[in-house]
Chain A
Amino acid sequence: GAGVSQSPSNKVTEKGKDVELRCDPISGHTALYWYRQRLGQGLEFLIYFQGNSAPDKSGLPSDRFSAERTGESVSTLTIQRTQQEDSAVYLCASSRRERFTDTQYFGPGTRLTVL
């Protein structure tokens, strides 16, 4: 596709359940990022995939959060045993080069609501 896509666009889940969020980056982009955006807040960095190197997981808030990426394509962010404070919009972005501060192209996000 022409841009970054994410699915689902909305997800409502019950506290304690696991959720998986998917991101399809722009074809050919080597870097992929996940951010969390709570209501009225800025973008909170979660994890960064950089080509074939080990991912930078320094932003993951707890061990309930994990992410995988298959080569230079799809990424999945998994949140286990969801809590109400996990409610937020989860944004994925990709960039051409393996440099964190290259121009990032964002997807539309997944709005997660934990009841």
Chain B
Amino acid sequence: QQPVQSPQAVILREGEDAVINCSSSKALYSVHWYRQKHGEAPIFLMILLKGGEQKGHDKISASFNEKKQQSSLYLTASQLSYSGTYFCGTEGSNYKLTFGKGTLLTVNP
């Protein structure tokens, strides 16, 4: 079942923070985050496994709450290069990744 991402779109000024949420109605084994810039291939950001871990990558971090079947992506002090569409992919009991519809992030100067 497709995870639900929120918000659908967000506009920031450079330096502002943002949170993108991903939730599922099914039990999750892992959550994957990808970013896709317009006209380009999706790029892997991080994988979060069961255990409620939090990961970080530069100023982008994420958390995974398996009990709530939710993950959140945190973008701190956003840069222009952060603009793009962020997808979460959730791994369920069928061991397949199902991607959400994406969150369009626009960072303006």
State the CA gap A56–B32 with chains docked (Å).
20
A window 71-115: CB within 8 A of B: 91, 99-101, 103-109
* B interface residues (Cβ-Cβ under 8 A, vs A): 2, 29-30, 32, 34, 40-44, 47, 87, 89, 91, 95-102
In the complex, what residue of chain B is closest to A9 when comparing beta carbons? B39
Total A-B pairs in contact (CB under 8 Å)?
A: 50
Q: Which residue among B43, B91, B97, B101 has the maximum number of chain A CB atoms within 10 Å of its CB? A: B97
Partner of A101, one of B34, B40, B91, B100: B91
Please tell me if the beta carbons of A42 and B97 are within 8 angstroms of each other in the complex. no
Which of A42, A99, A106 counts the most chain B CB atoms within 10 A? A42
A109: chain B residues at CB < 8 Å are 41
> How far does the Cβ of A111 sit from chain B's closest Cβ, in whole Å?
9
Once the chains bind, are A42 and B101 in contact (CB under 8 Å)? Answer: yes
Total contacting residues, chain A, CB less than 8 A: 21
Which A positions have Cβ atoms within 8 angstroms of B?
4, 35, 40-45, 48, 56, 91, 99-101, 103-109
A100 & B40 in contact (Cβ 8 Å cutoff):
no
Residues from chain B with a CB closer than 8 A to the CB of A40 are 101
- How distant is A109 from chain B, measured CB to nearest CB, in Å? 6
Closest Cβ–Cβ distance, residue A1 to chain B (whole Å): 13
Q: Which 6 A-B pairs have the closest CB atoms?
A: A106-B41, A43-B99, A42-B99, A42-B101, A101-B91, A106-B42
